Each structure stands twice: as C-alpha cells, then as structure tokens.
Amino acid sequence: MTPKEILEKRDMLSYTDLIDQIERGIGKVIYCGMDGIVTVVDDYCGFIAPFDSDVRPFIELLPRSVELISIHREHVSTVMKEYGYRLKTPCSLYVYTKDEDVAVRKQDIRVLDTSYKYVMHEHYHLIDDIDYIVDRLEKGVVRGIFVDNNLAGFMAEHSEGAMGLLEIFPEYQHRGLAYDLEGSYINEMRKDHRMYCNVVNGNIASENLQLKLGLVKADKASDWYSIY
C-alpha cells in the first residue's frame, strides 16, 4: 500500500494534512509502514502519525534540521522532552469536506505582495519570523480583505499546506470579515487541494468560525512541538 492509501484506510479525516502533503508533493515521506508514517516539509517541519505504537523510533527518523514537529498522538509531552522538544501549541485539526463553495458576501479581497510584510508582522503574533511572512507573500498565497480601500485583515497558507495566519484588525472585528475572508479562500483553493487548518485548543472564536464555515473537527490530536 502507498502512504496515502495507508493513511486513508486508518482515518482519512484525521490525517488530512499528511495526505495533502503527499498528494501535492509538499511533504517528503521518509518512513512508511503499517505502524506509522513520517513526513518532512522543507527539512524544517516534521509530521509523525504513529499508529498505536511508541513515538520514539519515529522521532529518531527525523533529520537533525527539523525544529518543529506535529504529532498526531496525545500524551507524548514527556517523551518529546527527552528529545529536546516542548509543547508549543496543542491544536485540533479542522477539515473542509464539502464539495461546494462557502456562501460568502462579495468583498474586496486581494493577493498581497511583500509591501505588506511589516503590517503583517506587526499584527500577527503567533509567528515572530518576518522571513517566513515574506516567503508566504512571495509564494502568492496571502490574501488581504479591504474595507474602503484600507487593509482590514489577512490570511495565508502555511508552508505545510494548512490555512492560517488569519487576522482581522481590531477596528474591523465583529463584522463577519473573518468568515468572508476564509470562506473566499476556501472557495478559491479547494478545487486544487484539500482545505484544512489547525486551531489552537481553547481558541473558542476560531473553533466556532471553522464550524460555521462548515469545517469538520478531526478526532486525533495534532499537537505542535518546537525544539528548545
């Protein structure tokens, strides 16, 4: 069986991120077995899907360059500390499974270029890496929503393929702009690849937004660890 076939048979929804990486060639499969799958994106970000087995052998397969790991397995914080990783963001995976567009209002949504790197860096606080923001802008995957010709918020696709970096500026919040922006993003991209995002556990506003947009929450954890 191929890595994609193994993942789909195990749990297509919960392993959407790995399946999408494999389909698009974003993720490099460095291990495939009936006990689990390991992929790497840009030799910097690793994804581990152990199937009811010890995570240690999978971690040890990762290149030394990997600084971020997403593990589809709960309760492995102690093991991760053995390898110098700490729990960065416990997340849940949300997946858009419908074969139809999201109903959104017509908005002024544009592709953003690198001239917006500083405003994005100023407003988005989960990632303090302007080089990464520039990379997303240069890849053409950042969208901005404008009100009266003023930038009111933005979102993008992460390097591993997930939707993210969603931010609506405070003065434009509570107008439904996040719904229209992400919904429009889904409509634009969904015909080319799978649409999904990782929501930090406890972010009720984001969880409710995903459910309102029609995304489905996967069962398995999708926790992110970073190297010390």
- On the question of pLDDT at 74 being above 90, the answer is no
- On the question of pLDDT at 193 being above 80, the answer is yes
- On the question of pLDDT at 221 being above 80, the answer is no
Amino acid at 114: T
- On the question of pLDDT at 137 being above 90, the answer is yes
Degrees to nearest 5, angle at CA 18 with 140 and 8: 130
Tokens of 7: 């993942």
pLDDT grade for 222, boundaries at 50, 70 and 90: confident
pLDDT of residue 126: 83
Q: Which residue has the tokens 């949300």?
A: 94
Rounded to an integer, what distance in angstroms lies between the CA atom of residue 55 and that of residue 57? 6
pLDDT of residue 87: 94
- On the question of pLDDT at 71 being above 80, the answer is yes
Burial class, 204, CB count within 10 angstroms (exposed 0-12 / middle 13-18 / buried 19+): exposed
Degrees to nearest 5, angle at CA 119 with 117 and 212: 100
pLDDT tens-digit map of 31-65:
999 999 999 999 999 999 999 889 999 999 999 99
pLDDT grade for 220, boundaries at 50, 70 and 90: confident
Q: Average pLDDT for residues 23-35, to the nearest whole number?
A: 96
Q: How many C-beta neighbours within 10 Å does residue 216 have?
A: 15
Tokens of 168: 């609506």
What CA dihedral angle connects 14, 17, 21 and 26, to 10 degrees?
-160
Tokens of 100: 């139809």
pLDDT of residue 16: 97
% of the chain exceeding 90 in pLDDT:
93
Task: Enter the pTM of the model.
Answer: 0.94
In 25-116, where does DSSP find H-type helix?
56-59, 77-82
pLDDT tens-digit map of 2-22:
999 999 999 999 999 999 999
Q: Which of 177, 181, 198, 200 is nearest to 189 (CA)?
A: 181
Cα 40 to chain centroid, rounded: 14
Element (H, E) at 188: helix 177-189
Q: Work out the widest C-alpha separation in the chain, in whole angstroms.
A: 54
